[in-house]
Structure formats: structure tokens, C-alpha cells
Amino acid sequence: MVNVAVLGYGTVGSGVVEVLGRNREQISGKTGEEIQVRYILDLRDFPGDPYEDRVVHDFNLILEDAEISVVCETMGGVGAAYQFTKQALMAGKSVCTSNKELVAMHGTELLALAAEHHCNYLFEASVGGGIPLLRTIQNSLTAERIQAVTGILNGTTNYILTKMEKEHADYGEVLKKAQELGYAERNPEADVEGHDTCRKTAILASLVTGKTVDAAKIETEGITGVTQADFDFASKKGLRIKLLSVIKVEEDGKLLAVVAPFLLTEEHPLAVVEDVFNGVLVTGNMLGDTMFYGRGAGKLPTASAVAADVIDCARNRGRTVMEGWSREEAELVDIKELKSRFYVRTSSDCAETVEEAFWGGEGAAASEGILWGKEYGFFTPAMKEKEFDEKCRKLGEMVLSRIRLL
Ligand code: HSE
């Protein structure tokens, strides 16, 4: 018997209990022993819930119970969740989590603690929801030098962008719906401002490079500036707008990591990833591209990934299976030196001035500009971000918005 404690009986925590309960037979068949939820830690009581008798309010009960070998941290946040995780690992109890904020902030330390105490800190659900991505990178793509990872890693924003594009839906209404469906973070700012994708990017990049990647150093931009006008322009050009996580490992070992909305062609494999789905394209130097697709958010898909980690812990008692990454910090490429093409939107009255600033008067045809209503959109030539920013600074409010081309 493997005894488990679940910390936090919210969307994901209750999902983990449900998955372990509903798939009990399949799971015990694969694990070789029964997995039982002995405690559910929460501040609240849950009268009438089938598991109400397991609800406790004191973490020490769990910590001091020598028969608890796995703890699922589904509380979220970096306060109590961090303290409880550390204490559990130091007591030799494995911890499985969906908490990307905690993994991105303290993963290096928690992985080291798990190794030191011969247990595991597993966080499959923290990136890509239900997609088995981290385990695949660590256990299956072992013969590869991973060169790039390009992904749609946030279900909420992909859902919002899809509805805005396909149904011309109002941003606020769609966000509300995403929250009702249990996709969004407690504070949806983390989704729409790109912080959630940034944390997932830091985790993926750390795994790919084997070094610590500081989320705070990743260039991050959300979707709040993307308008219907941008979708109009994109659709006229056969392009899609997606919030992407772009990770590239350069030949010199430096790491490029960016989170931002990008324009991509309809032929790009990630262009068809819609609604709450996530898609991740991993490029290895031998394999080439391989793509992962699945539900990136939601109760049961996320819980399924946490439960799979519990099974991994049960199968590997006393053995650390997650290599993770070292304390050495990855060196990031300065994004200002990066060359990109941009789509720029401006009002029609200053279209000529803005276009000329980027093309010097000779490239109007190359800019592929389109006038619609009172607005004008065009592409810039490839240029370094610092040059682009400098021009935009000079043009001031004439530039209404801009999006990078992938
Ligand atoms: N808010 C997150 C998302 C949840 O929408 O992807 C899953 O990490």
C-alpha cells in the first residue's frame, strides 16, 4: 500500500483524488500495489464530500506519519507550499506537484533536496497540463541535443486568442468563461500577462539546458495588447497569432528564451493548436521536430499528470528518478541583439511616416502593407530589436501595436 497526502483540495487537488479513485484498478495494476489517499490538507471542511473523513488542517499530522511516502502539493503559491514541500522532502517523502510558480522559483533547491533524501520532486503537470512532456524530454529524448522548444504553454490565453480570432469574441467575456471552466490561474493576470508561460518556459529551459534558468530574466509579454484589428490583419495575410514560448540553445551554449505573441503561418504545426489545448514542438539535432499536443489546463488532465507522478514515485521508492538541473545559471542571449521581422499597426494618417521610418522610402512594396478602415498594417525588414525599439521610441504614439513574426 502506498499512502498519499494531498495538500489543497481545490481544482487540481480534488482532481488528483478523483483520478486515483476512479482509476484505482488500472493504477494498482501498473504500480503493483494499491495507492490510497490517507489525508487531504485544506483550511476548509467538505461536509458531504466522499472523502470528508480524510480532511485535516494540520500539516504536521502528515509529516509525522511515517507511512505517508508521497505528498501531492496542489495548493499553489510559493509560501506554505514551499515550506511544506521542503519539510516533506527532508523527511524523505516524495512530492508531486502542478505548481509551476514554485518549481520555477525554487526547483533547483527542491530537486537537490529530493536527491539528498533519496526521494523525488516531480512536476510533470507544471508544464503542458496533461501532456507527458517533461518525462519524455528526460527519459525518451536522451540521445538528443535539444536545439529548440517552441510551445503554446498556456491554455487560458490560447482559448482567449482562439475565441477572439474565430468568433470575434470580446476579450473580457472569454476570460470570464475560461475562469468558469477552471483553466485560468486564481489571478488571471498571470495568464494574460504571460507570467504563467514564462514560469513554464523557465522550467522547460532548465530541463533542456541542465542549468538553472531564472524566470525573471526571460523577456515576457502577454496578450493584453492584441486587438481584433491585429487579427484582421493576420487573417488577410494567412497568419495566426499565438502566445509562444520560444527556447533556443545556440551553438555557443547560450540560451534564447522569449515569451510573447507571435505571428505564424497557417502551415506552422502550432497554428492548428486551438482552444485550451497546448502544443509543443521539440527540435533535436538527430530527431528533428517532434510535436506534443494535449489539454494544457483543466482539472482532470492536470490531475492525471500529477497522478502519473505519484505512480512513478510508488514504483521508485528510495530512488531519485528526476535528474533535473544543476545550480549553474544558464547564460541568456540578449534579446535586444536578436534580429526579427515585425508586423506594425498604425493609424492611416501617419502610415507613410511610420512605414518610411522602417523602410527608408524604398520598400513600400516589400512591406506588404494593407489599409483597412482607419488603420494600416505592414511588415518591417528583419532588424535587431534594439533598432526597432529605437525607431518606435522616436515615432511615439504613431505605432499602435507590433507583433514579432516567428
Ligand atoms: N492557467 C494555466 C493555463 C493552468 O491556462 O494554462 C495550467 O497551467
61-84 residue pLDDT tens: 999 999 999 999 999 999 999 999
* CA-closest residue to ligand 1 atom 7: 297
Task: Give the predicted TM-score (pTM) of the model.
Answer: 0.96
Q: What is the pLDDT of residue 42?
A: 98
Confirm or reject: Cβ of 191 under 6 Å from ligand 1: yes
Whether residue 364 is predicted with pLDDT greater than 80 in this model: the reply is no
| CA of residue 226 to ligand 1 center, whole Å | 19
Q: What is the mean pLDDT of residues 214-230?
A: 95
- Pick from 38, 48, 43: nearest CA to 3: 38
Using one digit for the tens of pLDDT, what is the confidence trace for 12-70? 999 999 999 999 999 999 999 999 999 999 999 999 999 999 999 999 999 999 999 99
Ligand 1 atom nearest the C-alpha of 158 is: 5
Q: What is the pLDDT of residue 9?
A: 98
Whether residue 354 is predicted with pLDDT greater than 80 in this model: the reply is yes
- Pick from 119, 80, 132: nearest CA to 101: 80
Q: What is the pLDDT of residue 182?
A: 86
- Calculate the average pLDDT of the chain: 96
Task: Give start and end residues of each alpha helix (H) in 67-217.
Answer: 80-90, 100-116, 134-139, 155-167, 171-180, 189-192, 195-209
> Candidates 133, 152, 185: which one to mutate for ligand 1, based on the most atoms within 8 Å of Cβ?
185
> Would you say the C-alpha torsion 14, 15, 18, 24 has a positive or negative sign?
negative
- Pick from 288, 383, 315: nearest CA to 35: 315
- Contacts of residues 364-367 at CB distance under 8 Å and 24 or more positions apart, as own/partner, are none
| CA of residue 305 to ligand 1 center, whole Å | 13
| CA of residue 401 to ligand 1 center, whole Å | 26
Q: What is the mean pLDDT of residues 229-257?
A: 96
| CA of residue 88 to ligand 1 center, whole Å | 25
Q: What is the pLDDT of residue 271?
A: 97
Q: What is the mean pLDDT of residues 105-118?
A: 98
Helices 11-22 and 24-31 sit at what angle, rounded to 10 degrees? 80
Cell of 174: 472569454
> Could you give the 3-state DSSP secondary structure of residue 361?
coil
Q: Categorize the per-residue pLDDT at 187 as very low, low, confident or very high, splitting at 50, 70 and 90.
A: confident
Q: What is the pLDDT of residue 60?
A: 98
Q: What is the mean pLDDT of residues 114-139?
A: 97
Burial 42-70 (b: 16+ CB within 10 A, else e): beeeeeeeebeebbeeebeebbeeeebbb
Q: What is the pLDDT of residue 184?
A: 86
Cβ burial, residue 351 (10 Å; 0-12/13-18/19+):
buried
| 379 contacts: CB under 8 Å, gap ≥ 6 | 341, 342, 343, 344, 366, 367, 368, 405
Q: What is the pLDDT of residue 363?
A: 64
Q: How far is CA 396 from CA 350, 358, 393, 401, 405, in A?
A: 11, 14, 5, 11, 22
| CA of residue 65 to ligand 1 center, whole Å | 32
Q: Which residues carry out catalysis?
A: 200
Whether residue 120 is predicted with pLDDT greater than 90 in this model: the reply is yes
Q: What is the pLDDT of residue 366?
A: 84
Whether residue 362 is predicted with pLDDT greater than 90 in this model: the reply is no
* Segment (H or E) for 122: strand 121-122
Ligand 1 atom nearest the C-alpha of 200 is: 8
Whether residue 337 is predicted with pLDDT greater than 70 in this model: the reply is yes
Confirm or reject: Cβ of 151 under 6 Å from ligand 1: no
Q: How far is CA 351 from CA 15, 102, 366, 395, 402, in A?
A: 52, 46, 15, 11, 14
Instruction: Kindly state the percentage of the chain with pLDDT values over 90.
Output: 93
Confirm or reject: Cβ of 129 under 6 Å from ligand 1: yes
Task: Give start and end residues of each alpha helix (H) in 316-384.
Answer: 351-359
Instruction: Kindly state the percentage of the chain with pLDDT values over 70.
Output: 99
Q: Categorize the per-residue pLDDT at 372 as very low, low, confident or very high, splitting at 50, 70 and 90.
A: confident
Q: Categorize the per-residue pLDDT at 317 as very low, low, confident or very high, splitting at 50, 70 and 90.
A: very high
Whether residue 365 is predicted with pLDDT greater than 90 in this model: the reply is no
